[in-house]
């Protein structure tokens, strides 16, 4: 894919995407961001995909935006700034919209846009020592593109202090606030991620895709609309091969053989 992004897929359908600029703490340069865009677009079309693990090479998860690229944005035109900002917003939305669980393996510090990538994930597991912070105000900007996902993760009340101080916080604070789902010792990070993946792979791919649609759609609907949407979705699922197989496997006390999505 690119030297700055490593994409690896195993036979189970799990794809591991590694931000690979360790010398720059995996800061989101235009090259890295564009590589991540291309990878996300390809994964969205990959019917064999079962889960995505996003992590960083080296000691950091992601330091956020690349300062050298930001200098170019300041010196550029408004049209260039709008284009770059819009592309990053679309990337975040595309990651969130993937029909499979997205797991953030947070191996080290995650600041600004890096913390935003954590917020986009469905499941976020951090190593102790993986500090985070929304540090954009310290360089005169704001966590704009990432704010919908951060607010969905931690809520407006917690975001006030996180955004309005620009402070760096410990992973334990992120766990308490809801940014992370688990915080574990560094040497337990891989085993913890693998345990999450094992649980994911036991589930029906079509059912997990439906779960992601529920999470995205139901909060924005009123009572009648939500009931109609959920009733239709469940009725549709009952008609799938995965539902027939899952129910049969339960009754026969065996593991289900999920239909390949490709």
For 109, half-sphere exposure in the C-beta direction (CA atoms, 13 angstrom radius) is: 16
Catalytic-residue membership of 34? no
Catalytic residue among 3, 31, 41, 136: 136
Contact 54, 121 (CB under 8 A): yes
How crowded is the C-beta side of 29, counted as CA atoms within 13 Å? 15
Side-chain half-sphere CA neighbours of 30 within 13 A: 12
Closest CA to 132 of 152, 105, 113, 160: 113
Catalytic residues, by residue number, are: 136
């Amino acid at each position: 894919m690119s030297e700055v992004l490593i994409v690896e897929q195993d036979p189970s359908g799990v794809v591991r995407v590694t931000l690979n600029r360790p010398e720059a703490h995996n800061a989101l340069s235009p090259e890295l961001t564009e590589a991540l865009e291309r990878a996300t677009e390809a994964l969205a079309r990959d019917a064999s995909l079962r889960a995505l693990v996003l992590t960083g090479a080296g000691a950091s998860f992601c330091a956020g935006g690349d300062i050298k690229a930001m200098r170019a944005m300041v010196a550029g035109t408004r049209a260039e700034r709008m284009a770059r900002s819009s592309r990053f917003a679309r990337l975040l939305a595309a990651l969130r919209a993937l029909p499979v669980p997205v797991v953030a393996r947070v191996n080290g510090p995650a600041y600004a846009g890096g913390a935003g990538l954590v917020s986009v994930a469905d499941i976020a597991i951090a190593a102790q020592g993986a500090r985070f912070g929304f540090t954009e105000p310290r360089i005169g900007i704001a966590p704009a593109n990432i704010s919908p996902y951060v607010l969905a993760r931690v809520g407006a009340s917690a975001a006030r202090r996180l955004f309005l101080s620009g402070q760096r916080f410990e992973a334990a604070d992120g766990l308490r606030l809801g940014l992370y789902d688990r915080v574990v010792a560094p040497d337990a990070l891989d085993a913890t991620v693998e345990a999450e993946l094992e649980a994911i792979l036991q589930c029906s791919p079509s059912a997990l895709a439906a779960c992601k649609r529920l999470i995205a759609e139901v909060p924005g609907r009123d009572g009648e609309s939500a009931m109609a949407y959920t009733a239709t979705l469940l009725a549709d699922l009952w008609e799938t091969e995965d539902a027939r197989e899952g129910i049969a496997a339960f009754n026969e006390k065996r593991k289900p053989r999920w239909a390949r999505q490709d």
